[in-house]
Amino acid sequence: MIVQSFKMAWKSIAANKIRAFLTMLGIIIGVMSLVVLVSLVTSATSSVTSQIESMGSDMLTVSVRDDKGLPLRLADLSDIAQDESISMIAPTTQTMGSVKSGSETTEVSVEGTNASYFQIQGDELASGRLLKSADLENTSYVAVLSNEAAVEIYGTADATGQTMVMNGSKFLVVGVLAEDDSLMASIGNMYSIYIPYTVAERLADSSSGISSFYAAASDPEYTDRAEAAIEAALLSRFKNDEDSFYILNQSVLAETMSSVTNTFALLLGGIAAISLLVGGIGIMNIMLVSVTERTREIGIRKAIGANKRVILLQFLVEALMICLIGCALGIALSGGILLIVNIFTSDTLTFTFSGSVILVAVLFSTFIGVVFGLYPARKAANMHPIDALRYE
Amino acid sequence: MIELNDISKIYRIGDEEIRALDSVSMRVKEGEFVSITGSSGSGKSTMMHIIGCLDTADEGVYLLDGQSIEHYSENELAMIRNQKIGFIFQSFNLIARLTLEENVGLPLVYRGVSASLRRERVGAAMEQVGLANRMKHTPNSISGGQQQRAAIARALVTEPAMILADEPTGNLDSKTGESIMKLFRNLNAAGKTIVLITHDDHIAQQTGRTIRLMDGRIESMGRTGVAAVNGPIAADTGGGGTDGVNNDSAVF
Ligand SMILES: Nc1ncnc2c1ncn2[C@@H]1O[C@H](COP(=O)(O)OP(=O)(O)OP(=O)(O)O)[C@@H](O)[C@H]1O
Ligand SMILES: [Mg+2]
Per-residue b or e along A74-96, where b marks 16 or more CB atoms closer than 10 Å to that residue's CB: bebbeebbebebbbbbbbbbeee
CA-to-CA dists, residue A10 to A132, A307, A378, angstroms: 73, 20, 19
> Residue A189: what pLDDT?
58
Cβ(A172)–Cβ(A163) under 8 Å?
yes
At a CB cut-off of 8 Å and minimum separation 6, what does B115 contact?
none
Across the strands, what pairs with B28?
B2
At a CB cut-off of 8 Å and minimum separation 6, what does A211 contact?
A63, A64, A72, A93
Closest CA to B204 of B35, B61, B80, B28: B35
Count of all residues that appear for chain A in the document: 392
Cβ-Cβ contacts under 8 Å, B75 against chain A: 307-309
- Positions in chain A whose pLDDT score sits under 70: 53-57, 67, 181-189, 205-207, 347-348
Amino acid at residue number A208: S
Q: Of the candidates B78, B89, B93, which has its C-beta nearest A306's C-beta? A: B78
Residue B98, chain A, CB below 8 Å: the answer is yes
DSSP-assigned letter for residue A332: H
Question: How far out from the chain centre does Cα B117 lie?
Answer: 27
Ligand 1 pocket mutation pick from A389, A390, A392 by most atoms within 8 angstroms of CB: A390
Count of all residues that appear for chain B in the document: 252
Q: Is the pLDDT confidence value at B84 over 90? A: yes
What is the Å distance from ligand 2's center to B166 Cα? Answer: 7
State how far the Cα of B63 lies from the Cα of B65, in Å rounded to an integer: 6
User: Collapsing DSSP states into helix, strand and coil, what is residue B12?
Assistant: strand
**What tens digit of pLDDT does each residue of A228-273 get?**
888 888 888 888 888 888 888 877 777 787 788 888 888 888 888 8
Cβ <8 Å between B110 and A389? no
Residue of the nearest CA to atom 3 in ligand 1? Answer: B11
Among the bound ligands, name the one nearest to the CA of residue B13: 1
Domain boundaries, chain B: 30-42+74-223
Cβ(A147)–Cβ(A177) under 8 Å?
yes
With residue B91 as reference, give the H or E element that holds it: none
**What tens digit of pLDDT does each residue of B174-197 get?**
888 998 999 999 999 999 999 999
With residue B109 as reference, give the H or E element that holds it: helix B100-111
Give me the CATH topology for the region B30-42+74-223.
Rossmann fold (3.40.50)
Which residues form the pocket of ligand 1, taking CB atoms under 6 Å from any ligand atom? B 11, 13, 18, 20, 38, 40-46
What are the strands of the beta sheet with B67-68, ordered from one edge?
A: B16-28, B2-13, B59-64, B67-68
Question: How far out from the chain centre does Cα B120 lie?
Answer: 26
At a CB cut-off of 8 Å and minimum separation 6, what does A327 contact?
A27, A31, A361, A362, A365
With residue B162 as reference, give the H or E element that holds it: strand B162-166
User: Collapsing DSSP states into helix, strand and coil, what is residue B1?
Assistant: coil
Closest CA to A326 of A16, A32, A7: A32
Domain boundaries, chain A: 2-52+256-390, 67-240
State how far the Cα of A263 lies from the Cα of A259, in Å rounded to an integer: 6
**What tens digit of pLDDT does each residue of A105-116 get?**
888 889 899 888
Rounded (5°) CA angle B78-B115-A321: 75
CA-to-CA dists, residue A67 to A74, A188, A240, A244, B128, angstroms: 14, 28, 11, 7, 106
Cα R_g (chain B), whole angstroms: 18
Residue B52, chain A, CB below 8 Å: the answer is yes
Q: Is the pLDDT confidence value at B243 over 50? A: no
SS3 string, A36-68, reads HHHHHHHHHHHHHHHHHHHCCCCEEEEEECCCC
Q: Please name the residue ranges forming H helices in chain A.
A: 2-14, 17-54, 74-80, 116-121, 133-137, 147-154, 183-187, 197-204, 223-237, 250-293, 295-303, 308-344, 355-381, 385-390
Which residues, chain by chain, have CB under 5 Å from ion ligand 2? B 45
Cβ(B90)–Cβ(B167) under 8 Å?
yes
Instruction: Locate the ligand 1 atom nearest the alpha carbon of residue A387 and give its number.
Output: 1
> Residue B252: what pLDDT?
35
Gap from B133 CA to chain A (nearest CA, Å) = 23
Q: What is the mean pLDDT of residues B44-69?
A: 93
> Residue B218: what pLDDT?
92
Cβ <8 Å between B75 and A307? yes
Give me the phi and psi of B104, to 5 degrees please: -70, -30
Among the bound ligands, name the one nearest to the CA of residue A391: 1
Gap from B107 CA to chain A (nearest CA, Å) = 6
> Residue B247: what pLDDT?
39
State how far the Cα of A237 lies from the Cα of A214, in Å rounded to an integer: 18
Residue B18, chain A, CB below 8 Å: the answer is no
DSSP-assigned letter for residue A159: -
State how far the Cα of A142 lies from the Cα of A175, in Å rounded to an integer: 9
Average the pLDDT over each of A69-73, A244-248, B61-65, B113-117 and give the range with the smallest value.
Answer: A69-73
Kindly identify which residue of chain B lies nearest to residue A389, measuring between CA atoms: B93
Residue A327 CA neighbour count, 13 Å, CB half: 24
Per-residue b or e along A138-177, where b marks 16 or more CB atoms closer than 10 Å to that residue's CB: eebbbbbbbbbbbbbbbeebebbebebebeeeebebbbbb
